[in-house]
Amino acid sequence: MRIHLTSIFVDDQAHALRFYTEILGFVKKHDVPLGEKDRWLTVVSPDEPGGTQLLLEPAGHPAARTYRDALVADGIPLAQFAVDDVQAEYERLSALGVRFTQQPVETGPVTTAVLDDSCGNLIQIATQPG
């Protein structure tokens, strides 16, 4: 068994696609219309195009909004992405205007930072020693 797909709820799929591809560097995998305005929209790491997909799912369901908004209010990231160097990503993304709620912090062998994805979520980036 392996993880094939996971999702995050986003306020605006078009905005989320731009942020996750143009800013974070993911690539679009699937973009299938679902009804009048929603899409089955996934992105993947350019390093693993056959790897785990991230579904940019509309946050229209009231339970999704409540859950996501509660996490943001408490400062809890919805997802974590691995990066080679948290400090370098922090500097790169900050230069692009990304807002961080937590600057890079070393916690034992792990370094983390938390960013606002501008789509309604907090995302943690982390570097772990190989």
Domain boundaries, the chain: 5-127
User: Which architecture does CATH list for 5-127?
Assistant: Roll (3.10)
DSSP string, 33-80: EETTTEEEEEEE-TT-TTS-EEEEEE--SHHHHHHHHHHHHTT--SEE
Mean pLDDT across 22-33: 97
Is the overall model pTM greater than 0.85, yes or no? yes
Q: Is the per-residue pLDDT at 129 higher than 80? A: no
What does the pLDDT read at residue 35?
Answer: 85
What does the pLDDT read at residue 9?
Answer: 95
What does the pLDDT read at residue 130?
Answer: 64
Token couple for 110: 């792990």
